[in-house]
Amino acid sequence: MLPEGALNLQELEQLAREKLTAMAYAYYASGALDELTLRENVAAWARLPIHYRVLVDVSARDLSTTVLGARVSMPVLVAPTAFHGLACSDGELATVRAAGGAGTIMCLSSLSNTRVEEVCAAAGGPVWFQLYVYRDRAATEALVRRAEAAGASAIVLTVDAPLLGRRERDVRNEFHLPEGLRVENMSAVAGHAEVALRSASSGLAAYFKEKLDPSLTWKDVAWLRGATRLPVLVKGIVRADDARRAVDHGASGIVVSNHGGRQLDGSPATASVLGPIADAVQGRIEVLVDGGVRRGADVLRALALGARAVLVGRPILWGLATAGEAGARGVLEALRAEIDHAMALAGCASVSDVTRDLLVPPGP
C-alpha cells in the first residue's frame, strides 16, 4: 500500500517533495510554460461523470487484460520517465522490480540512469524501451539493438519532443544531473552521457537541442520498423489524423499523450482527445493513454473512452522518492485497489464491461 502518511497519489506527492532536492522535485513535477496542460490533464478526467450501472453481480472482479498480447494484472503500465536515480539510489532497478511485482509492464526511458541491460536483467515482467532518436542514427540503431538483445518486448517511439518543452522551473534551477548520475544508455557515445550544468538554462533542454533529431518525420517510423523486429508504438499523439497515420505506417499501438504537459503548453488534455482518437483507430491497433491519471476512476474513464490501458508517470516517481521499490509498488497497488473499487461501484466485473456507455449512457 502507499507509504504511511498518504491516502492517495496526490498526498504522496507532498511526502515525496519533502524527500527530494528542490531541483529534482521541480524537474519531476513541472510542466511547460504556464503549466496549463499539466493542470488540465488531471482536471479533464475529473469532468467526465461515470454513469454507473446497478444490480450487476460484481462479487468477483477481474482487472486483468492484455496489452500487445502480454497479460497484465491490471490496465496500468509504468510510463517512461527519465532519471529515476534522482528519486532513489536503486533508480530504475527499483521501478522495474515494482512493475514486475505488480504484474505489469515497465516502459524504460532512453534517458535512464541504469543501462537497459541491467534493467531487463532485474525485470520480473515485460520491459518496453522508449526511444528518443538521436541525430547520430548509428548510435540510435545501436541502442535499439541493445534493447532487443536485452529482452525488451516493444519500442515506444516518442514523437512529441523535437525540442524539449520549456520548463521554466528547470531553467530557473539550471537543471542538470548531479555528480554520479548519467544517461547510462549513451555512455559509449562521446559526450552523450552527461546532462551538465548550463548557466541560466536547463541542461536537459541543451542536451536535446544538441543531440536529438528534430527532423524526425513519419518516414522515420518506417525506418524504425525496418530497424527492429519488435513492435513499435508511437507515443505523443493528440490528433485523430495522426493516429490514422500511425496505423498507416505500421505502428502496433499508439500512446495518446502530451508528455504529461511538459511539451507544448496549451495542447489538449489527453482525456479530451482520447475518445475521438480511439474512434478513428477503430480497433486496428491498440490505443494507450497517459497524462493526469491519479485515481482508479480515471482508469475506468480511459478504458470507457477506448484505451486498452493507461500509463502513469509522476506518481511512480513520488513512490520511488518516498520509499524506493516499495513506494513505487505501493502506487501501483493503490491504483489497483481504486480501480477494483470503482469497477464494483460502476457495475463492472471485468475490464471488458468498461464500455463507452458508462460515460455516454443511452438516452430515454
Query: Of the listed 84, 176, 192, 259, which one is catalytic?
Result: 259
Contacting residue, 37, 113, 114, 158, with ligand FMN by CB under 6 A: 158
Cell, residue 20: 527530494
* Closer of 266 and 361 to ligand FMN (Cβ): 266
* Amino acid identity for residue 34 in this structure: D
Angle formed by the axes of helices 314-346 and 296-305, nearest 10°: 70
Start-end of H helices in 212-253: 218-227, 240-248
Task: Compute how many other C-beta atoms are within 10 angstroms of the C-beta atom of residue 254.
Answer: 27
Stretch touching ligand FMN by CB under 6 A, among 45-53, 80-88, 133-141, 321-329: 80-88
* Closer of 91 and 292 to ligand FMN (Cβ): 292
Q: Which 159-188 residues touch ligand FMN, going by CB under 6 A?
A: none
In the complex, what is the shortest distance from the CB of residue 334 to ligand FMN, in angstroms, rounded to a whole number?
14
* Helix then strand then coil, % of the chain, to nearest 5: 45, 10, 40
Beta bridge partners of 309: 288
Q: Is 123 exposed, middle or buried (0-12, 13-18, 19+ CB in 10 A)?
A: buried
* Closer of 293 and 348 to ligand FMN (Cβ): 293
In the complex, what is the shortest distance from the CB of residue 332 to ligand FMN, in angstroms, rounded to a whole number?
13
Q: Are strands 106-108 and 232-237 parallel, antiparallel or unpaired?
A: unpaired
In the complex, what is the shortest distance from the CB of residue 118 to ligand FMN, in angstroms, rounded to a whole number?
17
* Amino acid identity for residue 31 in this structure: G
Q: Is 192 a catalytic residue?
A: no
Q: Is 260 exposed, middle or buried (0-12, 13-18, 19+ CB in 10 A)?
A: buried
Contact track, ligand FMN, 186-225, x by CB under 6 A = ----------------------------------------
Whether residue 310 contacts residue 298, with contact meaning beta carbons closer than 8 Å, is answered with: yes
Contacting residue, 25, 28, 45, 208, with ligand FMN by CB under 6 A: 28
* Closer of 235 and 295 to ligand FMN (Cβ): 235
Range list of β-strands (E), 73-152: 76-78, 106-108, 127-131
Q: Which residue is associated with the grid cell 527492429?
A: 228
In the complex, what is the shortest distance from the CB of residue 212 to ligand FMN, in angstroms, rounded to a whole number?
11
Q: Does 41 bind ligand FMN (CB under 6 A)?
A: yes
Q: How many residues bind ligand FMN (CB under 6 A)?
A: 23
In the complex, what is the shortest distance from the CB of residue 109 to ligand FMN, in angstroms, rounded to a whole number?
3
Task: Compute how many other C-beta atoms are within 10 angstroms of the C-beta atom of residue 239.
Answer: 15
In the complex, what is the shortest distance from the CB of residue 82 to ligand FMN, in angstroms, rounded to a whole number?
4
Q: Which 256-295 residues touch ligand FMN, going by CB under 6 A?
A: 257, 259-260, 262, 290-293
* Closer of 78 and 150 to ligand FMN (Cβ): 78
In the complex, what is the shortest distance from the CB of residue 156 to ligand FMN, in angstroms, rounded to a whole number?
7
Q: Is the dihedral of CA 4, 9, 11, 12 positive or negative?
A: positive
Whether residue 303 contacts residue 350, with contact meaning beta carbons closer than 8 Å, is answered with: no
Stretch touching ligand FMN by CB under 6 A, among 49-57, 78-86, 147-155, 172-180: 78-86
Q: How far, in Å, are 169, 175, 239, 316 from residue 22 at the CA level?
A: 10, 10, 35, 18
Q: Which 303-322 residues touch ligand FMN, going by CB under 6 A?
A: 312-314
Start-end of H helices in 237-295: 240-248, 270-281
Contacting residue, 111, 243, 281, 342, with ligand FMN by CB under 6 A: 111
> Which stretches of the chain bind ligand FMN, using CB under 6 A?
27-28, 41, 79-82, 109, 111, 130, 158, 235, 257, 259-260, 262, 290-293, 312-314
Could you list the active site residues? 259
